[in-house]
Amino acid sequence: MRISSIQLEIKDGRTKQDMIRYALSMMDRCKGDDLIVLPELWNVGFFNYDKYKEYSEPIDGETAAAISKKAKELRAWVYSGSFVEKRSDGYHNTSVLFDRNGEKVGEYRKMHLFTYQCLEAEILTPGKDITVADTEFGRVGLATCYDLRFPELFRKMTVSLGAEYFLITSGWPYPRLEAWNTLNQARALENTCYLISSNAAGVNNGIRFCGHSQIVDPWGYVIASTGYEEAIVRAQVGDKEVERIRREFPVLKDRRLSV
């Protein structure tokens, strides 16, 4: 499996339509890859709270439709990154997983909304459902940014729902880079899963994102990563590697406490 994590730069002054066009152009640079991952709230900018409701859309709205079409064109699996979804029960931080035909195979609404010096939790409604989807590569668990600080979510995705890969869309800000790096590795290592994260780059409403999107293997080793600037992080993952590593080092079978 050839993986691309797009560390997209968020620029103030771009409209939602500008960002959609730009994201699609970055996806074109990933032609030939099997899986593409985008960052959190890239079409609005995580810290542009005043635009959340204005830029909101239904689950099958403008952003998802554009990503679905591009997934089909590139014949790639795509984790859309998140957008503000408008539903009858409020507004959500929502991501969608598309298959090679552009069909939706999973959707996830961010469960853990950020409250530290942040308005996300005042505007949006937390999701209630854990999402692990079947793919041609294996079982894939979906998560968003702040979720990384809650290991019980990832343990449940692995032990109860069979996840072998975690896809993380994020808008993680500077200066908490050490926490970001540690949590990416820890969630992969403790669950013997691959973890692919896409964090935003650039400065949004005066706040800098810390970038450093990465691909972490089930041993907790970072096999591909980048710095603060916009980039595409790439790696190739062997078939059935998770199964092989779990046989070799059966930490999940050695558990004594349930989630």
The catalytic position among 110, 120, 193, 210 is 110
The two beta strands, 207-208 and 194-199, are unpaired
Given the residues 70, 107, 120, 145, select the one marked as catalytic: 145
Q: How far is CA 135 from CA 107, 206, 226, in A?
A: 13, 38, 26
Query: What's the rounded Cα separation, in Å, for the pair 193 and 163?
Result: 7
Residue 174 DSSP code:
T
How far is residue 192 CA from its own chain's centroid?
A: 18
Considering 9, 16, 30, 40, which one is annotated as catalytic? 40
Catalytic site includes residue 40: yes
Instruction: Provide the annotated active-site residues.
Output: 40, 110, 145
